[in-house]
Amino acid sequence: MDSLPLVEPVQVTIGGDTSIPRMISGLWQLAGGHDERVDIDAAARAMKPLVDLGLNCFDMADHYGDAGRFQATSLGNLVAFTKWCPPENGIKSFQAAEKAVDLALQRMGQKQITLMQYHIWDYSDDTYWHNLVYLRAMQKEGKIKHIGVTNVDAAHLELLIETGFKITTNQISCSVLDQRLVRGRLASVCEKNKVGVLAYGTLLGGFFSEKWLDQPEPEDLNKLNWSLRKYLRFIRAAGGWKLFQGLLRALSTISHEHGVSIAAVATRYVLDIPIVSAVIVGCRLSAETSEYARRNLEAFSFVLSEDNHALIRKAQGALLDIPGDCGDEYRRPPYLTATGDLSHHLKDHQEDGLAMAIAAGKRIEYSTGSPWEPIAGYCRAVRIDGYIYVSGTTANSSGNIGIPVLGGHSARSQTVAIFDIISRALKALGGTLSDVVRTRVIVKDEADCEDVSRAHGWVFQCQGIRPSNTLFVANLVGTEYLVEIEAEARLGSNDVLRLSA
């Protein structure tokens, strides 16, 4: 195809005061799994052509290895975003959070982090509430300009915002193939709360290219780099290689019409989603970086027609929806990660003492440390044999973090927070939400019943079960609490046969 005149990327403002190009250079490919050896100095030099082309925004993370120090070794006029993805180690101290932020500042050679994006591995682990409170404190100190999140679903983004956190961006997977952003609630939640979406996976790690058109499906995942390995799982979840080829052919037809690449069409499609602030394009920072960048900029040189969109919708109609909400690939099956599971992230923390007590058939009581537990003579949950009974639970925040109630004045968000607390109790005793056989829901205001019911329905839809349920209206202790829920679980009861009257 003919070479197009060089175009400049369109700019967008995030957080009300920070201007960035709508195309961000993502540095995940420099974290390993793509190249055996990365020349850091050469990679730093390769940033200059990108800046000259107007692509001066770079996205990195604490676990991207040496990628985090490119800002310090390169030139000025760069905008650097980073992420904090702390391991599940139970550390909830301000000192640990400050150490992570100071390390990021040191590596990037900055006095202030423009955008610190926080990743939550497990919503039932309350560590993230502590860490976000600490990030907010450091934001007030001036170490952080904006706080964002990565891979957060609609319910928990809403929960964070209703609790009082100002979230600037949410970085999530979005592509012509992965339509979870617009087919679920997330787009509307982001629009309502002015949260910009930073979309990655737009090119499916490189599968959206002429290279893969009319080619056989790769047989050995182990021969693929991390990106291709990950997004081949997305393709399979969406119905498989044959249906993907149909989508690729549609993009190819459109690319020929406009004289651009397939990648440019795939990128333009995502840029046209109103809530998307910018796309993140993987970048290895090599000698070929400038050439790749010029091709990527083609996405700003043309407009998709209604006929183009109709052709894409027709090809999409043959696909299956990617399961769940944005970010679910990191939290529940099918795990659409490079490894196909969470082995690189989550560990089994069940203590030997618990396993021995279960084997001995002991009564096991789980407490949260609430001062009311010894006063009132109760615990959060009790396990007897294969049964777990969870006490009435409200959206009470843990520890002394200065949050009166999780979810603020939203009964729906309080319900989401409550089930995270219940999930934590179940996990502590060897169970999961998928083992729940009964819930009892108490709502303070009858007007909130529908919102609470929808949140309850979403939680168990994610688990693939429907427990028996009672919902009633009654007064609750504490003016801030709008919902209280108790649950009963029987372990191993999540193999479902559904009968209808």
Per-domain boundaries in the chain: 12-212+262-302, 352-490
Whether 367 contacts 380, CB under 8 Å:
yes
Please tell me the distance from the alpha carbon of residue 303 to that of residue 310, in angstroms, as a whole number: 14
The answer for residues whose C-beta is within 8 angstroms of residue 73's C-beta and 6 or more apart is 40, 41, 44, 109
DSSP state of 38: -
Homologous superfamily of 12-212+262-302: NADP-dependent oxidoreductase domain (3.20.20.100)
State the burial class of residue 158 (Cβ atoms within 10 Å of its Cβ: 0-12, 13-18, 19+). buried
pLDDT score recorded for residue 494: 84
| Letter string b/e over residues 71-92, b meaning 16 or more CB atoms within 10 A of that residue's CB | bebbeeebbbbbbbbbeeeeeb
Query: Which 3 state secondary structure label does DSSP give 280?
Result: strand
Please give the helix or strand (H or E) that residue 59 lies within, else none: strand 57-59
Fold equal for 12-212+262-302 and 352-490:
no
State the number of CA atoms in the 13 A half-sphere of 303 facing the CB.
2
- Mean pLDDT for the stretch of residues 42-51: 77
Strands of 468-473's sheet in order across: 364-366, 381-384, 387-393, 483-490, 436-443, 468-473
Please tell me the distance from the alpha carbon of residue 133 to that of residue 403, in angstroms, as a whole number: 9
- CA angle, 466 then 468 then 470, to 5°: 125
- In tens, the pLDDT along 61-95 reads 875 555 455 554 455 678 989 999 998 888 999 99
Among 187, 200, 261, 244, smallest CA distance to 24 is for 200
Tally: H helices and E strands in the chain: 17, 16
Radius of gyration of the chain (CA): 24
The answer for residues whose C-beta is within 8 angstroms of residue 142's C-beta and 6 or more apart is 112
Would you tell me how many other CB atoms lie within 10 Å of the CB of residue 401?
14
- Phi and psi dihedrals of 258, rounded to 5? -100, -5
Query: Which 3 state secondary structure label does DSSP give 129?
Result: helix
Domain at 352-490: CATH code: 3.30.1330.40
pLDDT score recorded for residue 137: 97
pLDDT score recorded for residue 49: 84
The residue type of 477 is V
Please tell me the distance from the alpha carbon of residue 244 to that of residue 262, in angstroms, as a whole number: 13
Query: Per the structure block, which two tokens stand in for 388?
Result: 């777990």
Would you tell me how many other CB atoms lie within 10 Å of the CB of residue 213?
14
- In tens, the pLDDT along 396-450 reads 987 778 999 999 999 999 999 999 999 999 999 999 999 999 999 999 999 999 9
State the burial class of residue 380 (Cβ atoms within 10 Å of its Cβ: 0-12, 13-18, 19+). buried
Q: Which residue has the higher pLDDT, 24 or 283?
A: 24
Would you tell me how many other CB atoms lie within 10 Å of the CB of residue 349?
12
The whole-chain average pLDDT of the chain stands at 91
- In tens, the pLDDT along 287-317 reads 777 788 888 999 999 999 999 999 999 999 9
Question: What is the band of 33 on the pLDDT scale with cuts at 50, 70, 90?
Answer: very low
Query: Which 3 state secondary structure label does DSSP give 493?
Result: coil
Please tell me the distance from the alpha carbon of residue 293 to that of residue 54, in angstroms, as a whole number: 10
Among 217, 174, 218, 177, smallest CA distance to 198 is for 174
pLDDT score recorded for residue 1: 43
Could you tell me where the DSSP H helices lie in 31-179? 40-45, 47-52, 70-73, 94-108, 127-141, 154-163
Would you tell me how many other CB atoms lie within 10 Å of the CB of residue 468?
10
- Mean pLDDT for the stretch of residues 191-206: 97
State the burial class of residue 208 (Cβ atoms within 10 Å of its Cβ: 0-12, 13-18, 19+). buried
The residue type of 205 is G
